[in-house]
């Protein structure tokens, strides 16, 4: 399948989604890799990993042409454009890959397949005040907005010392009543707080969240 969908959650922020139906060989034909990227690709052993990695590269090509999409990774594994033309973030899960780009400011993206088992681990990523805001209806979707939102913000910051549960706070929101599919979040680190916006959208049985 070609490029699946583009979403623009805010001015200057482009998010692309790819639904993977191709083989790794078919995806590889759609992009051009640098020598270092070819070396990295050869280290992947599992076919799904190869397809997901190639698919988000296809998304970046769709979003960024004519800019170069050659990538490198920092010491924490965060992908960076070698050209420095845009801030980017990438994610993949199951049959989907996603990428977001912005010329002006850091962004983060996460896509997750929604499964009931997240209920068993919610205490690991939700604060007590966040837990209290969960409603009986659309419970699973809400949990994945919280999970995906924190993942996207974690990627945006790119600091492994950030406490996933306590330093990232998603403010109360009503999943059913927010027509613009946005909610607010804050990161508190070293006694400094910075506010962010999250955009979320359910896509089939996946939840996409973009942080900016």
pLDDT per position as a tens digit, 83-132:
999 999 999 999 999 999 999 999 999 999 999 999 999 999 999 999 99
Dist CA 60 CA 100 (whole Å): 8
> What is the mean pLDDT of the segment spanning 171-185?
82
Query: Boundaries of CATH 3.90.470.20 in the chain?
Result: 3-105
Name the CATH topology of 3-105: Ribosomal Protein L22; Chain A (3.90.470)
Q: With 90 as the cut, is the pLDDT of residue 190 above it? A: no
**Partner residues linked to 6 by β-bridges:** 16
Residue whose C-alpha is closest to residue 92's, from 58, 118, 126, 124: 58
Measured CA angle at 123 (ends 192, 131), to 5 deg: 75
* 135 band by pLDDT with thresholds 50, 70 and 90: confident
Q: For the stretch 187-205, what's the b/e string if a residue is b when 16 or more beta carbons lie within 10 angstroms of its beta carbon?
A: beeeeeeeebebbbbeeee
User: How does the average pLDDT of the chain come out, rounded?
Assistant: 94
Q: Which residues make Cβ contacts (< 8 Å) with residue 178, sequence separation at least 6?
A: none
* pLDDT score recorded for residue 191: 87
Q: With 70 as the cut, is the pLDDT of residue 1 above it? A: no
Helix (H), strand (E), coil (C) string for the chain: CCEEEEEEEECCEEEEEEECCCCHHHHHCCCCCCHHHHHHHHCCCCHHHHHHHHHHHHHHHHHHCCCCCCEEECCCCCEEECCCCCEEEEEEECCEEEEEEECCCCCEEEEEECCHHHHHHHHHHCCHHHHCCCCCCCHHHHHHHHHHHHHHHHHHHCCCCCCCCCCEEECCCCCCCCCCCEEEEEEEECCEEEEEEEEEEEECCEEEEEEC
CA atoms in the 13 A half-sphere facing the CB of 61: 16
């Amino acid at each position: 399948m070609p490029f699946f969908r583009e979403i623009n959650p805010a001015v200057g922020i482009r998010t692309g989604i790819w639904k993977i139906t191709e083989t790794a060989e078919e995806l590889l034909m759609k992009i051009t890799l640098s020598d270092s990227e070819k070396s990295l690709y050869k280290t992947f052993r599992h076919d799904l990993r190869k397809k997901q990695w190639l698919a988000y590269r296809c998304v970046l090509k769709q979003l960024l042409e004519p800019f170069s999409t050659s990538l490198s990774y920092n010491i924490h594994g965060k992908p960076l454009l070698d050209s420095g033309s845009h801030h980017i973030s990438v994610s993949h899960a199951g049959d989907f890959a996603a990428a977001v780009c912005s010329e002006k400011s850091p962004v983060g993206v996460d896509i997750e397949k929604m499964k009931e088992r997240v209920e068993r681990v919610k205490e690991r990523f939700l604060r007590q005040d966040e837990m209290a805001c969960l409603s009986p209806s659309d419970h699973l979707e809400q949990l994945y907005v919280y999970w995906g939102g924190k993942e996207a913000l974690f990627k945006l910051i790119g600091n492994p010392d950030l406490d996933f549960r306590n330093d990232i706070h998603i403010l109360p929101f009503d999943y059913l009543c927010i027509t613009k599919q946005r909610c607010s979040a804050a990161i508190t680190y070293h006694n400094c707080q910075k506010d962010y916006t999250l955009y979320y959208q359910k896509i089939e049985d996946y939840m996409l969240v973009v942080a900016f």
